[in-house]
Amino acid sequence: MTSTLIFLLGLTGVFLLLIGLGIFWAIKSGQFEDMEGPSQRILMDDDDPLLPRRVVDADALKKAP
């Protein structure tokens, strides 16, 4: 009984350490820098003339298999 409890407490400590390291890595690598950007980009219009566009060549479309 006590050996199982000690094992589970040790396993909990290892998981807490991994979670803490993961959180600190995410903060240090800039994962939380721009939280509003993606939510605002999805609302932008695609037909805005100031946005760069990809021009598709009609001849390239005909040659595609």
How many folded domains does the chain comprise? Answer: 1
Domain annotation covers residue 50: no
The predicted pLDDT at position 46 comes to: 64
Predicted structure pTM score: 0.53
With respect to residue 63, please indicate whether it lies within any of the assigned structural domains: no
- From the CB of residue 11, how many other CB atoms can be counted at a distance below 10 Å? 10
What are the pLDDT digits (tens) for 14-32? 999 999 999 999 999 988 8
> Is there a domain that residue 41 lies in?
yes
60 in a structural domain: no
Q: Residue 17 has what pLDDT?
A: 98
- Residues 6+ positions from 44 with CB-CB distance below 8 Å: 51
Cα dihedral 26, 27, 29, 34 in deg (nearest 10): 100
The whole domain housing 13 covers 1-45
